[in-house]
Amino acid sequence: MLTVYGRATSSNVQALLWGMEEMGLTYTRVDCGEVYGGLDTPEFRAMTPHGRIPVLLDGDTALWETAAVLRYLAGLYGDAVFWPRDPLARARVDMWAEWAKYAVAAAFTGPVFWRSARTRRENRDADLIAANVAAVERELAKADEVLAGQDYLCGEALTLADIQLGHVLYRYFDIDIPRAELPALRAYHDRLATRPAYQRTVMVSYDALRNTF
C-alpha cells in the first residue's frame, strides 16, 4: 500500500500526487503540515529527519524528497515514455525535470507565490515581487521556446519532466501578478488543465493559504 503524508495544498505534495495518478497508482493520503501539524512528532520524524512533506510510505519503507520519490515510483511503474529505460533518453527527461525543480519551482514558490498570495497586501513588496517574477520568467521563456514546437517538454507525450514544471503553472497563471506573454507556455498549461489527474491534484483551491504571513 502507498500512503502519502502531506496536505493537499502543498505544491510538492501536488507534484507527487499528480505523478502517481498519471502512473495509475492507488494511494491513501494523510493530512499533515501547516494547520494539520504533525511534522514534529516522533512517528513522523522516524520517516524523515527533515520534518517536511511529502513523505511516501511504501509498505514499511519511507521515502522523502519529491523528485527522488517520483523517480523511484517511475522506475517501478512508469512506462518507457514517462520515464525512459534507455539511460540517455532518461537523462534528457531528468535534465528538464531538475531544471524545472530548481530554476522554476523553487524560484516561484517562495519568492513569488509566498510573497504575493500568502502575504497580506499591505505587507507586499511590489518591486521585489516584480523582480522575482521577471527572474522566473527568464527561465519560463526557455520552456516557451521549446514548447512552441512540441506539446510537452520532451516531445509529444507527458514525461516526469512535465510533472516538475507543470505543477507550479496553475498558481503562476492564477495569482494576481503581471505576466509576460508566453503563448506556448500558456497553451501547454491549457493542455495540462484538460488532464483529469492534473485537475484532481493540482487545480486545488489555495484559499486556506492566502494572506497567512
Read off the pLDDT band of 211 (50, 70, 90): confident
Q: Is the pLDDT of residue 186 over 90?
A: yes
For the stretch 13-70, pLDDT in tens is: 999 999 999 999 999 999 999 999 999 999 999 999 999 999 999 999 999 999 999 9
Check: CB of residue 11 under 8 Å from CB of residue 168: yes
For residue 5, what is its C-alpha cell?
503524508
Q: Is the pLDDT of residue 115 over 90?
A: yes
Q: Where are the domains of the chain?
A: 2-77, 87-199
Strands 55-58 and 2-5: antiparallel
For the stretch 121-146, pLDDT in tens is: 999 999 999 999 999 999 999 999 99
Is 2-77 CATH 3.40.30.10?
Answer: yes
Domain 2-77 matches domain 87-199 at the CATH topology level: no
Q: What is the mean pLDDT of the chain?
A: 96
Mapping DSSP to helix (H, G, I), strand (E, B) and coil, where does residue 110 land? helix
Global pTM value: 0.96
Strands 61-64 and 55-58: antiparallel
φ, ψ at 95 (rounded to 5°): -60, -45
pLDDT score for 212 = 73
Check: CB of residue 163 under 8 Å from CB of residue 97: yes
Check: CB of residue 5 under 8 Å from CB of residue 18: no
Q: Average pLDDT for residues 165-177, to the nearest whole number?
A: 97
Strands 2-5 and 28-30: parallel
Domain covering 87-199: architecture: Up-down Bundle (1.20)
pLDDT score for 210 = 87
